[in-house]
């Protein structure tokens, strides 16, 4: 037994539990927050965390549940039944997790690109964002179970033939898993490719929408701030009533370029924060799926395994829940680090988890007649600003 095989078996026993604990923390944070499961974002992330827990439990047991006579596993104490159960959990959890992260990206797309109201997303879109991941994952698991296609594979049980490699060797008769290649394409490669394409396209569309909105907002603010004064308008008294109303509206909007509490800037600010959140989830997905993709592509193209890629796969892939936790707590973490830069990163991360969902206590500034009173406007925010900050904590629909 090579050192690489031992490393592939041991590493998921460490990274898998880290992902389980991280997903559990996300669930606890969601349930103890002010909005709990009353918003679509939290419900989708709740489903994603459940799916990650299911797949991470399977990966955490590594090769322990494989049949004892498995030649390529370092250590195993199970049988065909335990291997089938492990593979079923991993298959269902991993497929549901990938599709749920896609659902999260589609939620951001509906909120930002198409500017759908929360009620519209909840009523017309969200049922599909839950049903498709659950139904497709359960279908893949049941079909693989019924065709006896779950057997000892890499570091854990997955869709594989038994004896291993019998589908490629005409001299060996397959006892189980005759449809391995077909099922791997339908429930493995195809969903991964579709997920990657949908998330990439959605991210690009969201970025373009937010970028265009920022350009329009900056252009509008510039035009509003350059409105001619009354002294530069010789025909001021001759203006009609519609022109006067339009002038008043322009003057009012020009204040929105100065006062940070106006809805125009708040809307742009909210969209930018949600864009950052969606891109963070997208890069977290890429980080966890990059090495499995490289490992399997090189194996199929070169006809041999590159051990270091499979070791990296078993290191980064099971940590999907941990990546989600980092993204989920990032807004709170950033606030804490900004307010108190003496705290260590670990302490700030702990405080970000602990304080999630708690509304910050704001101190009202003392009344002052100095010229700096306008500079302190941001310390006494309006209701719109408070809603924007709430969106930073949960990306909830405002």
Asked whether residue 394 carries a pLDDT value surpassing 90, the answer given is no
Report helix, strand or coil for 392: helix
Which helix (H) or strand (E) covers residue 302, if one does?
A: helix 263-302
Residues 275-315: pLDDT tens digits?
A: 888 899 999 999 999 999 898 888 878 877 888 999 999 99
* Inside any domain, residue 242: no
Domain that holds residue 96: 3-204+267-355+386-394
* Inside any domain, residue 255: no
pLDDT of residue 224: 52
pLDDT of residue 329: 92
* Inside any domain, residue 364: no
* Inside any domain, residue 209: no
* Inside any domain, residue 8: yes
* Inside any domain, residue 367: no
pLDDT of residue 222: 55
* Inside any domain, residue 37: yes
CA–CA dist 91, 186 (Å, integer): 12
Report helix, strand or coil for 68: coil
Give helix 40-60 / helix 3-32 axis angle, nearest 10°: 150
* Inside any domain, residue 79: yes
How many residues in total does the chain contain?
398
> CATH code at 187?
1.20.1070.10
Query: Model's pTM, two decimal places?
Result: 0.79
**What is the DSSP code string of 69-126?**
T-TT-S---B-HHHHHHHHHHHHHHHHHHHHHHHHHHHHHIIIIIS---HHHIIIIIH
Higher pLDDT, 391 or 187: 187
CA–CA dist 50, 23 (Å, integer): 7
Residues 129-152: pLDDT tens digits?
A: 999 999 999 999 999 999 999 988
Give helix 80-108 / helix 190-225 axis angle, nearest 10°: 20
Asked whether residue 387 carries a pLDDT value surpassing 50, the answer given is no
Is residue 382 within 8 A of residue 260, CB to CB? The reply is no
How many domains does the chain contain in total?
Answer: 1
3-state helix, strand, coil in the chain (%, to 5): 70, 5, 25
Take residue 249 and report the two structure tokens written for it: 């509206």
Range scoring the smallest mean pLDDT among 28-42, 103-117, 204-218: 204-218
Task: Calculate the alpha carbon distances from 372 to 111, 138, 254, 364, 377 in Å.
Answer: 37, 62, 21, 15, 9
């Amino acid at each position: 037994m090579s050192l690489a095989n031992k490393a592939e078996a041991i590493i998921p026993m460490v990274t898998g539990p880290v992902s389980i604990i991280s997903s559990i923390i996300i669930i606890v944070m969601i349930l103890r927050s002010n909005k709990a499961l009353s918003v679509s974002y939290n419900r989708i992330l709740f489903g994603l965390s459940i799916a990650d827990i299911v797949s991470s439990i399977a990966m955490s047991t590594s090769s322990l549940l494989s049949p004892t006579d498995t030649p390529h596993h370092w250590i195993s104490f199970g049988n065909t039944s335990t291997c089938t159960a492990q593979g079923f959990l991993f298959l269902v959890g991993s497929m549901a997790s990938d599709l749920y992260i896609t659902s999260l990206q589609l939620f951001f797309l509906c909120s930002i690109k198409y500017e759908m109201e929360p009620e519209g997303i909840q009523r017309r879109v969200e049922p599909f964002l839950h049903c498709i991941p659950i139904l497709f994952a359960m279908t893949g698991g049941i079909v693989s179970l019924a065709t006896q296609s779950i057997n000892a594979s890499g570091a854990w049980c997955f869709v594989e033939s038994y004896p291993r490699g019998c589908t490629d060797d005409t001299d060996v008769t397959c006892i189980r898993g005759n449809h391995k290649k077909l099922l791997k394409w339908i429930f493995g490669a195809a969903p991964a490719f579709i997920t990657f394409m949908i998330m990439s396209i959605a991210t690009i569309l969201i970025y373009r929408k937010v970028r265009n909105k920022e350009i329009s907002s900056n252009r509008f603010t510039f035009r509003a701030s350059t409105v001619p004064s009354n002294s530069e308008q010789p025909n001021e008294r001759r203006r009609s009533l519609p022109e006067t109303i339009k002038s008043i509206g322009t003057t009012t909007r020009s204040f929105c370029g100065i006062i940070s509490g106006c809805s125009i800037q708040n809307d742009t600010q909210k969209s930018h924060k949600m864009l950052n959140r969606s891109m963070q989830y997208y890069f977290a997905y890429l980080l966890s799926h990059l090495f499995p993709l490289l490992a399997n592509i090189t194996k199929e193209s070169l006809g041999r395994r590159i051990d270091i890629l499979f070791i990296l796969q078993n290191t980064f892939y099971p940590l999907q829940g941990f990546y989600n936790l980092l993204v989920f707590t990032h807004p709170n973490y950033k606030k804490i680090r900004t307010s108190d830069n003496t705290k260590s990163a670990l302490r700030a991360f702990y405080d970000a988890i602990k304080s999630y969902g708690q509304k910050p206590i704001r101190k009202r500034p003392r009344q002052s007649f100095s010229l700096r009173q306008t500079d302190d406007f941001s310390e006494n925010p309006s209701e719109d600003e408070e809603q924007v900050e709430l969106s930073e904590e949960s990306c909830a629909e405002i």
